[in-house]
Chain A
Amino acid sequence: MTDLHDKGVAELSAALQARQLSSVELTQALLERVQRHQGHLNAFISISDEAALAEAARADAQLRSGTAGPLTGVPIAHKDIFCTRGQKTTCGSRMLANFISPYDATVVERLRAAGVVMLGKTNMDEFAMGSSNENSFFGPVRNPWDAARVPGGSSGGSAAAVAARLTPAATATDTGGSIRQPAALCGVTGLKPTYGRVSRFGMIAFASSLDQAGLITRSAEDAALLLTAMAGFDERDSTSVELPVPDYSGALALTLKGLKIGLLKEFFDTGLDAQIEQHIRAALELLRSQGAHIRDVSLPNLPLSVPTYYVVAPAECSSNLARFDGVRYGHRCENPRDLLDLYERSRGEGFGAEVKRRIMTGTYVLSAGYYDAFYLKAQRVRQLISNDFERAFREVDVLIGPTTPTTAFELGAKTADPVTMYLNDIYTIGANLAGLPAISLPCGLSQGLPTAMQIIGPHFAEERLLNVAHRYQLETDWHRRAPPGYA
């Protein structure tokens, strides 16, 4: 077979099952490609090489003996926020630069059990805090569409790797847009499931009322295959929801006739790039031609998403990251004078600037005298935003809007002011605050850069989102476009 790197999960699965291709051959080809592009893209933090080839050989044995499942032998990459037993798990931080995880995250364990081969761990903003991947201790990731531009973040390595055809799919996480925003800027498909749908055991915590694991793939069809293997109850995650997991591939082809789509009025504001708006309106026309009904929907409290998030997320981050104390694991400073000095210098040296900003913001909003004014106030506004969504979903099946206000921006363009960077997630944060599933998919190119639309659904409506996305992708080829030089 040729052009192995250009094939998605579903195609590779079929070829592996039909024995037109071995997993070793495929894994070897992709590992070579990962190595070849590592120097200029920096999409990976570690590359698995021998371990990956051993996994591929085991997968080939299963494929030969007839004990293989649909994902057996398919290579993927994991965001370096997921613990992988016996392998480095850094979370993009100096704090964990030498951390070898003693156990596997549930996501890793489930995909391993399903037979996937891990190519390596992808680069990310430190502790998943960032929208440009410029906050990684291991250096920024470049956007394969234009090396002078960012891939988005925090799952920038996963998005760039999938876009550059280094891997057919990668796991990712989304606290305020960290799957959807980089997927949008890199022209790939990014699915953030409902809060509690996928286990977070072994996924390094950032903001526990928002974090959710998901996927970056080349199509909704591929996301459906992988989500079926990843999702489901896990008693080791206290936020995991006890609900059966459907076969997400089963509903992909359903008709869109009668589907009620809400157009998110607040998202088509003055801050939205005109080309992106035009592409989304064209996508909506296509969905209308398939039988969907479209109406405007207003969520009046949604514009307060960003300030709400920048209380809730830092508050939870300051609490979660308190565990990094330089004692049990992680970076420790040289020659501490006393215990306090050990804590303060280990943390001061181990964390980068953005992580420190968020820990301090969180510490401040939770401190005595400010808790009510900031933290409780934000949780009240969060309830208002959630109520807005709930009201909207009484009228429509899904909401559609942009994923990002602009296409990929240049490295360094937004690093001077944190708030400018934060506003980049203005359209993605709402779904996290309300715990809703959402998917981003490419819907055009503007001056050679991908544009994207976002579909948000009610809790546990992943099947519906994947269905709408798949029907759109059956009629369009934006998701098949490779960046120049990576086809």
Chain B
Amino acid sequence: MSLNRRDIENIARLARLALTEQEIPAYVAALSRIMGLVGELERADTSLVTPMAHPLPGQRQRLRADSVTDSDQHQLFQRNAPQVEAGLYLVPRVIE
């Protein structure tokens, strides 16, 4: 399966990834190769198969009660933030 430059630009936009001009041809080639590999799946007859939902048969995703379990640690967590002011994460202005 072959992808083109427009496909890659579109995928990168959906994935929120800035690619440089020089990177694009390499991703066109790589993703085309990968989707070629994925194309082998067409060989399998899966018409009667339910898609797998969990690797362990009979297991389901466990849910917990919707209750507060953690205390406020925002100061600790914000030590890793690129830009913080008055306990808030800073980003470029969104609303003019």
Contact = CB atoms under 8 A, between A and B. Distances in A.
Contacts of A381: 41, 44, 46, 49
Interface in B11-69: 11-12, 14-20, 23, 26-27, 30-31, 33-44, 46, 49-57, 59, 61-64
B51 A376 contact: yes
Given A344-B18, A357-B31, A238 B61 contact: yes
B9 to A, nearest CB: 11
A304 B43 contact: yes
B73 interface: yes
Given A360-B31, A383-B49, A386-B55, A348 B18 contact: yes
Nearest to A311: B38
B79 interface: yes
Interface residues of B, number: 57
B59 to A, nearest CB: 7
A304 B82 contact: no
A420 to B, nearest CB: 9
A344 B20 CA distance: 11
A361 B36 CA distance: 12
Given A102-B77, A329-B80, A356 B27 contact: yes
Contacts of B30: 357, 418
A379 B36 CA distance: 18
Nearest to B80: A329
Given A102-B79, A347-B18, A336 B92 contact: yes
B86 interface: no
B11 A360 contact: yes
A239 B27 contact: no
Interface stretch (A159-167, A220-228, A362-370): A362-370
Nearest to B44: A381
Interface string B66-96: 0000000100110111110000010111100
Contacts of B93: 338
A459 interface: yes
Contacts of B17: 344, 347-348, 351, 356, 359-360
Contacts of B91: 327, 339, 342
Nearest to B39: A307
Contact of B89 (A239, A327, A341, A435): A327
A203 interface: no
Contact of B55 (A304, A332, A357, A434): A434
Contacts of B54: 209
A409 interface: no
5 contacts: A99-B80, A329-B81, A349-B18, A365-B38, A379-B51
Interface of B: 3, 7-8, 11-12, 14-20, 23, 26-27, 30-31, 33-44, 46, 49-57, 59, 61-64, 73, 76-77, 79-83, 89, 91-94
Nearest 6 A/B pairs, CB to CB: A435-B55, A348-B18, A379-B51, A380-B46, A332-B82, A329-B80
Interface of A: 98-100, 102, 194-196, 209-210, 235, 238-241, 301, 304, 306-308, 310-311, 318, 322, 325-332, 336-345, 347-349, 351, 353, 356-357, 359-361, 363-365, 367, 374, 376-384, 386, 390, 417-419, 422, 433-435, 459
